[in-house]
Structure 1
């Protein structure tokens, strides 16, 4: 079950405090991710090793792209359209995004102070899904919820509620199964839903995997071309691969103790990029880094937001 495949640390990517939401942009041959507390979107051109970053006006936790290359970002106070200015050609370039290029699209009614969006991505039809959470995880507050932002620009009411630390969004290759997790230590559950691709409605929620039976907490995830679900086992330094039937069939160790989210990329979508978190105490040089893994499987193209930003 444990697979000894090479795990490469991408030194050119630098390190993040809380690296999340990796996205491969095939048109640019570039890998994007965010650093939540630093309020940054980061890009690495894999071929050239050029790294650029954009600083936003508030914490950014999840991103997707539309067909024009604009960013749909889940942030502290809502969902935003972000147009990234040219970062220049120098490695390490940092650009502050002007307020004129950051526009709020929608926001839920947050039931408490100190909340923000967390994990988010598009379904196969191009609707953007993202969940909210109370940022102070020590409160174990079940006030988080999952929302859908459709192609017409409408934000739904809560679709799934009573979440502490929403995570793990992903869809099966045909889009008819939706996955969602709660990574809080008190939960550690991954659910599967039947998903109506026409209406965008998840139904028949059931436990897909209970990580109390394994190691770590289920953080961000990705689905491969075989329909298997890869989750980052935060606090355990592992990637876990579950078959569509919910059976663990593979695990890969990574040097960072807190892998946070993974995404397939590269020209053939055969590289698994893994972002990670740098813990507050006892961090090593690998914590907060980005890793590349040739896991022997291919991924699926990341869907773009189908609406206009």
Structure 2
């Protein structure tokens, strides 16, 4: 066991609640290293949010469609996945510019991550009662969405591991509750992908939702659906630890702060503190660097 894995297993984690502007359905927290802020979205509240790490002040902007994810880009502006595509958001003018058009109808983007080459991986889900119409897309500098995996209910848990050249993908649906690995080729675009099983959460509290990697490649996965926890898995799929969290329905963790030694957590709204952003200072654990999306 490495030093980071040991810290991930043993170090106590105490969360502080940032009570300002709780969300109806907080999701997709991501650290923007270039701007030194945390971006996240409120899906049901239809807002894009930015939190200052010094003091926790949060500002929210209304989105023109239902937002599912936000990621930093190499242009210095965040990109937001919504119903009809992916939009660049300029907080200075509060404007959204669509840069990727989604041909699927009746869906919206949900979870997303960026791999070590700057490619965006983003999944869609049905806007109506759950059907397995979700698709995982890969999107590069040409801004063309390439379908890679289909037959998904609720794609989540996306995280890219450069050391092992792999992408993690989960499905939160009660019939699935699984996390898979996709082996990636950084020089070629996949047209199909064979998923390898990584971990099942059917015997654990909650279902897999959003996830983040620490600097040692451990996979931190929020347990939505009443789990009130983050499950931490080693790269070989072994469960290292279950971290108690203050929210009944945690949705996604994110490592942030200048040293990437803070853990942020979004959650579904409900009785306080549910819906509020939570943050914990970590001892001996740091997050993997966040790569911005390369739009060309």
- The answer, yes or no, to whether TM exceeds 0.5 is yes
Instruction: Say whether 1:9 aligns with 2:3.
Output: no
Does structure 2 conserve the Cα–Cα contact (< 8 Å) formed by 1:166 and 1:181? yes
Q: Distance in 1 between matches of 2:219 and 2:166?
A: 11
The Cα offsets for residues 246-295 of structure 1, whole Å up to 9 and x where unpaired, read as 000011111111100111001210111111111xxxx3211101111234
Q: Distance in 1 between matches of 2:33 and 2:99?
A: 26
Change beyond 3 A, Cα 1:77–1:284: same
Q: Give the length in aligned residue pairs.
A: 285
Instruction: Say whether 1:109 aligns with 2:100.
Output: no
Does structure 1 conserve the Cα–Cα contact (< 8 Å) formed by 2:229 and 2:250? yes
Does structure 2 conserve the Cα–Cα contact (< 8 Å) formed by 1:272 and 1:293? yes
Match 1:274 to one of 248, 265, 273: 265
Does structure 2 conserve the Cα–Cα contact (< 8 Å) formed by 1:173 and 1:225? no
Does structure 2 conserve the Cα–Cα contact (< 8 Å) formed by 1:3 and 1:252? no
Instruction: Say whether 1:179 aligns with 2:168.
Output: yes
Q: Which residue matches 2:233?
A: 242
State the 1:5 CA deviation. 2.2
Does structure 1 conserve the Cα–Cα contact (< 8 Å) formed by 2:115 and 2:161? no
Give me the CA root mean square deviation: 1.8
Listed as ranges, the gaps of 5+ residues in structure 2 are 1-8
Does structure 1 conserve the Cα–Cα contact (< 8 Å) formed by 2:18 and 2:56? no
Q: Which residue matches 2:32?
A: 25
Q: Which residue matches 1:252?
A: 243
Helix, strand or coil: the match of 2:70?
strand
State the 1:40 CA deviation. 0.9
State the 1:6 CA deviation. 1.1
Instruction: Say whether 1:286 aligns with 2:273.
Output: yes
The Cα offsets for residues 195-219 of structure 1, whole Å up to 9 and x where unpaired, read as 1122243744111111112111100
Helix, strand or coil: the match of 1:212?
coil
Helix, strand or coil: the match of 1:171?
strand
Does structure 2 conserve the Cα–Cα contact (< 8 Å) formed by 1:22 and 1:261? yes
Alignment of 1:201-220 (within 5 A): 201=190, 203-220=193-210
The Cα offsets for residues 27-78 of structure 1, whole Å up to 9 and x where unpaired, read as 3321111001222111111114332111121111111122232222110111
Q: Which residue matches 2:183?
A: 194
TM-score (norm 1): 0.87
Does structure 1 conserve the Cα–Cα contact (< 8 Å) formed by 2:24 and 2:42? yes
Q: Distance in 1 between matches of 2:208 and 2:189?
A: 24
